Amino acid sequence: MNLNQVTVPCLDIPKSISFYKKLGLQLIVKSDHYARFLCPDGNSTFSIHYREKQTTGEGIYVYFECEDLDKQVAKLQDRGIEFDELPNDKSWLWREARLKDPDNHQIILFYGGENRINPPWRVKEEKEKV
């Protein structure tokens, strides 16, 4: 199994399309109620789906990994993207920058490297009992 598609709700499809294109995602499907993007690296896709009312609470967290995080953030700032948190090192051994999309979803650009899958505290695989 491989996660390759995530969809988040949005209130304004054109506004969200503009935001995600500015982030560097390539628009590949578009309708009045839906849009899908190809991520710039690999074959993963990300999409937005129209909803009349946004869900309440903290919202959705979406992580996009990029090896050249600091350069990517600088490039996005030049495009007018505003960040809530500039790149900084986290205690979980990732480097992250944070911003919000037009629907207030938390977007995290990060670099986790080897620690994304193999952090020092990774759970050891348990053997299944039959």
CA 68, CA 4: separation in Å to the nearest integer? Answer: 21
The amino acid that residue 9 corresponds to is P
The band of 59, judged by pLDDT with boundaries at 50, 70 and 90, is confident
CA 19, CA 81: separation in Å to the nearest integer? Answer: 8
Question: Domain locations in the chain?
Answer: 5-116
* The pLDDT of residue 26: 97
The predicted model gives 87-104 an average pLDDT of 96
Calculate the CA 94 to chain-centre distance.
Answer: 15
The predicted model gives 38-47 an average pLDDT of 94
The band of 130, judged by pLDDT with boundaries at 50, 70 and 90, is low
Residue owning tokens 């600091």: 70
Instruction: Identify any residues that bridge with 34 across adjacent strands, giving them in sequence order.
Output: 49
Residue 19 CB: number of other CB atoms within 10 A?
Answer: 20
CA 47, CA 89: separation in Å to the nearest integer? Answer: 28
Domain 5-116 coded CATH 3.10.180.10: yes
Residue 10 CB: number of other CB atoms within 10 A?
Answer: 25
CA 18, CA 26: separation in Å to the nearest integer? Answer: 11
